[in-house]
Amino acid sequence: MYDLIIKNGRIVDGTGKDAFVGDIAIQDGVVAEIGQISGAAKKELDATGYLVAPGWVDTHSHMDGQATWDPFCSPANHHGITTLVMGNCGIGFAPCKPTELAHQQLIEVVEDVEDIPGTALVEGIKWNWETFPEYLDALDEIPRAINIAAQVPHCAIRTYVMGDRGANNERATPEDVEAMAKLVGEGIDAGGVGFTTSRTELHKTRNGLSMPGTYSEEDELFGIGKKIGELGKGFYGMVSDWEDDAWRDEMEWMKRLSIENKCRFNFVLFYQRADQWDRVKEQLEFVRQANSEGAQLMAHVGARPVNVLMSYHGTVHPFFLHQNFGPLMLLSPEERIAKLNDPEVRAAILAEPTPSMGIETADRMVTDFHLMYELGEEPDYEQSPDQSIAAKAEAAGVTPQEYAYDALLKRDGKAMIYFPFMGYDAGNLDRQFEMLSDENSVISLADTGAHCGVLSDASMPTFLLSHFTRDRKRQRFSIEQAVKMHTHDTARAVNLSDRGTLEVGMRADINVIDYDNLNVLAPEVIYDLPAGGKRVFQKADGYKYTLVSGEVIMHDGIETDARPGALVRGAKQSPAVA
């Protein structure tokens, strides 16, 4: 007798093969049989009319803190994510000296770089670890609904070994490099799936300093890479700015590190300006050539451009720098909206000259109305230029500021403006489609758990399936392609080959989906983090069931009491290899 049979579903198995109608039997948390199954089970789920697909694998999350208190790593569970990987961008909470100052240093980096409320981290994190292996042990003790995996973060390693010298990005000595490499080795031996670092100047702390590790020299980067090569397991991960005059040199050392140490090198690929699109195409060509020479480079790209969601309750919007708006942030959300509806308050805010912080990204958030769009109750992430705030304002005979002010007051002040400020210069998602279609790319960059005041891209897998296979009027993926991209391909990118397909012996992490009614819902700001911390939160319609290890953890968007998830320690082979 099987534990569970999912009956009569349209099975999209994650391999890329055509969908077919059939049953899936589950025993002891793995797929036991697929086809027309006549055997009995303790429980059956009727999937007639629904898609049955593997659970989504999220390769780019920042749940390092939240995973220590939230068994669902929400909102991941609302979007069919059954495994997520954290420790990205070199950021994390272990190792860390057992002092209040050391704890605060890492919290400040995460708060400043990833926009996760520091008060929530202070209250939520118990710090019952010092080393990275101890951190994994602490994660392992917590009952959880979904699976998590952790990478060893460069920022924490460098600060732990070098103290203030590391935090201030001073050059590492040979002894420092040796100590860091040893700790990375211990972390991967204990179950870390890889190592990550950041080389982008977008990652700044509150003091205006780049986060630890940003300017690490080649001897440090290769010293850690050599340790990964010696271990014969784990992978390297990196985010970088890809400066116009230096990106080729950076790609060259990535290629060399990967070949010399026989390891995968995952890197974030995005562009900021229209004139950088040719660079992106050249990078993808470089990767094709490098991989033909023995490298294992993998570009991580998003289904949406780099963006922020603007709200009167979030971190940014076109008036967040105005002096007359500042005092309103001290009010409750309801009081704030009442004040903003006052004609005198409106007039005072709109009368102010547009302020400047002298920081390009911040200044664009109060001026680039041609790239701002009303998101609406049915979120539309691919609007044309004639739907921008600037275009609508011109048509209405008002200023963009006036139009934006009133647009944000819609839905009782819960409305949001979508601002794809990097990579939307073409006014559509054709370039995202092209990057996602590349054989050496993988869908990524959901930043699940991070950028709480401006983003909720944990909805990326829901968006990929609903928009890029069903709703989009331009180029589209087949359902089989999209499912494979967010299951088989993402799992293999992080060396977790025991999941991501529905085949006999594979993990029974499964989504049962009402495809025709699958939609991302309007995001909203909620205050449910520890210490009342706020975050932008987005749910979905259409997930009938989400299963982890054959147990239902979500049913029609509602959490169950099941806690079958686990910490994933290290690479996992497919049953055929094992």
3-state SS class at 337:
helix
Assess whether the previous peptide bond of 95 is cis (omega < 30° from 0). yes
Q: State residue 578's pLDDT score.
A: 46
Separation between Cα atoms, residue 245 and residue 259, nearest integer Å: 24
Q: State residue 577's pLDDT score.
A: 53
Torsion of CA 452, 458, 462, 465, to 10 degrees: 120
Element (H, E) at 112: helix 100-114
- Write down the pTM of the prediction: 0.96
Pull the structure tokens for residue 132: 């990275």
What are the distances in angstroms from CA 207 to CA 109, 160, 167, 168, 170?
10, 20, 12, 11, 16
Pull the structure tokens for residue 23: 């049953």
Separation between Cα atoms, residue 232 and residue 227, nearest integer Å: 9
Q: State residue 576's pLDDT score.
A: 60
Q: 305 has which bridge partners?
A: none
* Cβ atoms 365, 308 nearer than 8 A: yes
Pull the structure tokens for residue 235: 């992978």
Could you give the domains of the chain? 57-305+425-493 (3.20.20.140), 308-422 (no CATH)
Transcribe 438-500 into DSSP letters: STTEEE----BT--TTT--GGGHHHHHHHIIIII-SSS---HHHHHHHTTHHHHHHTTBTTSS
Separation between Cα atoms, residue 192 and residue 59, nearest integer Å: 14
Low-confidence ranges of the chain (pLDDT < 70): 576-578
Q: State residue 362's pLDDT score.
A: 83
Separation between Cα atoms, residue 327 and residue 380, nearest integer Å: 32
